[in-house]
Structure 1
Amino acid sequence: MSAEVVPPSADAPIRVLLADDEGLVRSGFRLLLDLEDDLVVVGEAVHGADAVEQARATRPDVVLMDIRMPRLDGIQATARIAATRGLEQVRVLILTTYDTDEYVFDALQAGASGFLLKDSGPAELLHAIRVVAAGEALLAPRITRRLVGQFAAQRAASRVAEDRLVVLTEREREVVALVGQGLNNVEIGAALFLSPATARTHVSHAMVKLGARDRAQLVVVAYETGLVTPGG
């Protein structure tokens, strides 16, 4: 279902910044990543403010960001990184406990490119980093529909959907709705009888028109505006 993941550069490893206030967690991540030829840890941050400072200093490809940290939480840190000039290409992968982190929706709004369960296995973690580094959103439907949909629904009533979507063509609305359901470009093309390249073009146009940082924020828009409804 998913496309082949390609690192940012064929010649350079993916640069990863670890942000977690628990030293044992950071050490475990570092040990795992150090075994991979295409991944390199460029820093470890012990709280959110530290993550922002180190992101500015090291310019990583991916920040593996815990939500609950002192001084500045992961959501605030993500928002600051996303808003910093020169860090537009930095992708943030949020760590969540799934059932208890109602903040995931806020993290996506802040600019996160996806989220990963804290109890994920080593293979899932490595795959997630590579997916996000390649510019894709890590939004597995099994998590997105339940978690993002749940909290987006609580806010959707206060939004005027038409005002936000008026800039899109009908085809672009269809594409954004399918992105919101967790489909990739190949799957969108199949659903709408388009080539994957054409689907990718529609996704790109929608992102530009809506001011979305990446596909993850298109998912947020899809739920907020009712293009996708929880469980739909």
Structure 2
Amino acid sequence: MTAPIRVLICEDQELVRTGYVTVFSAYPDMAVVGEAADGREAVAAARRLRPDVVVMDIRMPVLDGIEATRLLAGPGVEAPSKVLVVTTFNVDRYVYDALRAGASGFLLKDTPPARLVDGVRTIARGESLLAPAVTRDLIGHFAERLRPADTTSPARDHVVRTLARRELEVLEQLAAGLSNAEIAEKLVISLETVKTYVSRILTKLDLRDRVQAVVLAYQTGLVTPTD
């Protein structure tokens, strides 16, 4: 029998936290191993308990969810945690920062329970949770913040040198918010070929998931919101 997915819940509102516990406990493949009411508790609990997935709110006292995510999954972290940010997107303006800090994806707080559970399963498998439609919303919402300061940066040159022409095209489509099926249709290639290209992009650029690929594309100026 497969071991259940170990989940750490980081949320400052007790009522919401209790709701998460109730939702996850209803599924035999889920196990809530801990709870945290602020960012500092979240970091300490994640390091102590080593959960499979950390469900992280952004707005928390003491240490916010963005900084907590950076400490658990950001650049240079030796054993990064898998963080799923759950937030109120139309109010919270820090989702992009959370993704850049290392989160593997995000969902809205009004997401149906079954979708939340599926999201945790997706993150636990090592996949990212950045739906194409959400990517497009992210681009529109954070257009100004996504503009790179220097489009001739060494990071951009590295990406261009490292990826083959077709891989660059696929990365551009990823950053535009297209799904694998949409990329296949646009570039007139098979779905399996797209998956292969995505896998190569992540390997060559040493990226953990699709989220990091999208963020890198904008940070380096390979893609801009006006594209």
TMscore range, shorter length: 0.7 to 0.9
Q: Scaled by the length of structure 2, what TM-score is found?
A: 0.86
CA–CA separation in structure 2 for the residues paired with 1:159 and 1:107: 22
* 2:36 maps to 1:40: no
Shift in Å at residue 73 of structure 1? 0.8
Alignment counterpart, residue 115 of structure 1, candidates 82, 106, 124: 106
> For 1:60, what is the secondary structure of its paired residue?
coil
Shift in Å at residue 154 of structure 1? 2.8
* 2:113 maps to 1:146: no
CA–CA separation in structure 1 for the residues paired with 2:198 and 2:67: 27
Shift in Å at residue 192 of structure 1? 3.2
CA–CA separation in structure 2 for the residues paired with 1:213 and 1:51: 22
Shift in Å at residue 22 of structure 1? 1.1
> For 1:94, what is the secondary structure of its paired residue?
strand
Q: Can you give the 5+ residue segments of structure 1 that lack an aligned partner in the other structure?
A: 1-9
* 1:73-112 mapped onto 2 (5 Å cutoff): 73-82=64-73, 83-86=76-79, 88=80, 90-112=81-103
Matched-pair contact (CA < 8 Å) for 1:152–1:223: no
Match of 1:15 in 2: 6
Match of 1:6 in 2: none
Change (3 A) 1:184 1:142: closer
Matched-pair contact (CA < 8 Å) for 1:152–1:224: no
CA–CA separation in structure 1 for the residues paired with 2:45 and 2:110: 26
Match of 2:55 in 1: 64
Match of 1:223 in 2: 218
Matched-pair contact (CA < 8 Å) for 2:147–2:224: no
* 2:202 maps to 1:202: no
Shift in Å at residue 149 of structure 1? 4.1
The range that moved more, 66-75 or 212-221, is 212-221
Match of 1:4 in 2: none
CA–CA separation in structure 1 for the residues paired with 2:71 and 2:106: 18
Shift in Å at residue 194 of structure 1? 3.8
Alignment counterpart, residue 131 of structure 1, candidates 122, 144, 151: 122
Matched-pair contact (CA < 8 Å) for 1:145–1:230: no
CA–CA separation in structure 2 for the residues paired with 1:196 and 1:53: 41
Equivalent position amino acid for 1:219 in 2 = V
Equivalent position amino acid for 1:27 in 2 = T
Match of 1:7 in 2: none
The range that moved more, 200-209 or 92-101, is 200-209
Q: Can you give the 5+ residue segments of structure 2 that lack an aligned partner in the other structure?
A: none
CA–CA separation in structure 2 for the residues paired with 1:157 and 1:182: 18
1:34-91, Cα deviation, whole Å (9 max, x unpaired): 01011111110111111111111111111110001111111111111114323x3x31
CA–CA separation in structure 1 for the residues paired with 2:148 and 2:60: 31
Matched-pair contact (CA < 8 Å) for 1:17–1:64: yes
User: Aligned-pair RMSD on alpha carbons?
Assistant: 2.3
> For 1:156, what is the secondary structure of its paired residue?
coil
CA–CA separation in structure 2 for the residues paired with 1:148 and 1:63: 25
Which structure has more relative contact order (CA 8 Å, sep 6+)? It is 1
Percent identity over the alignment is 50
CA–CA separation in structure 1 for the residues paired with 2:226 and 2:122: 25
CA–CA separation in structure 1 for the residues paired with 2:27 and 2:65: 26
CA–CA separation in structure 1 for the residues paired with 2:185 and 2:95: 29
* 2:44 maps to 1:49: no
